[in-house]
Structure 1
Amino acid sequence: MATVTLKGNEINTLGNLPENGSQAPEFKLTKNDLSQASLSDYAGQKVVLNIFPSIDTGTCAQSVRQFNQEAAELDNTKILCISKDLPFAQTRFCGAEGIDKVETLSDFRDGNFGKSYNVEFTDGPLQGLLSRSVVVLNEKGQVIYSEQVSETVDEPNYKAALEALMDA
């Protein structure tokens, strides 16, 4: 179990993020068109997993905007923005915001992503949602950077995630 805070109050997740150097766990998530996406769909590309509780909160929305802006500059890289929001909400947000460089994916169907990556909250007001985290993978699907944001209302360290991509 990993402990983070929400506005200073401790809440827990299932565990720690996958370790650097480890093979990223496979996943099945739902795309905006309700089809399925899996990690193997992105084989041979660098991947940033931008994980968060809900696209309808300020910090989560900002992380999607920020990675969308940064993604335009990256070669052979996919930015996957992952939450348990319904694909309809993700589509609405991206359309309203002009977000078109990242891919939003939902873990609403079975929650296996949150369990495999240990980011599902186990208690507190966000129980069942995903903890704000960033996991960066190289072209071989190996973890080269991870951050579970210690205070849920804070933004992730974009610079460190992007630097890990450049060093890969």
Structure 2
Amino acid sequence: IPNKTKMWFIYLVLVIVAYFVAKLRWSKVGWSFESIREDETAAAAMGIDTTFYKTLAFTIGAVIAGLAGAMYAHLNYIITPGEFGFTAAVHLLTYNIVGGTRIWYGPILGAALLTALPEILRGIGVTAGPIRLFVNGLILLLVILFLPNGLASLFSRRKPSIPGITEDR
């Protein structure tokens, strides 16, 4: 194990995890996850073991989070409690909401946009201090109002199958 994780390794792990999650979506497990998300009672009535699949979803999420935490520790050499306070939790939720949670690449898209935002603002001459939080909040508000399924819904190939029915639920 190297003393310090390189960025290329983090990107490689991101691609592998994204591939795994994308493939998982179209498997029996993925269909079970979607069924439980849409209507847990109906999924249970169809014979899906909801407790098992909810536990599996929690376990998969914990493994991915643990992998990310291990790489974060190797990247920065240290982890302090202050790095994972309320602000970090709000940032993570904002990444998910802005990117979208219904499509596997949504949180990646949201994180990429909101992480690059200070650099974009700096490039046009705006200092990224308090303005950054205002712009993040404005983007979050606009996404909630106009794109309830996140930015990734703009790139989704999946369209409603019945004319007149929208995807916004």
TM-score bucket of the superposed structures, by smaller chain: under 0.3
Q: Which has the larger radius of gyration?
A: 2
- Bigger helix share: 2
The answer to which structure, 1 or 2, has the higher relative contact order (CA under 8 A, 6+ apart) is 1
TM-score (norm 1): 0.25
TM-score (norm 2): 0.25
- Bigger strand share: 1
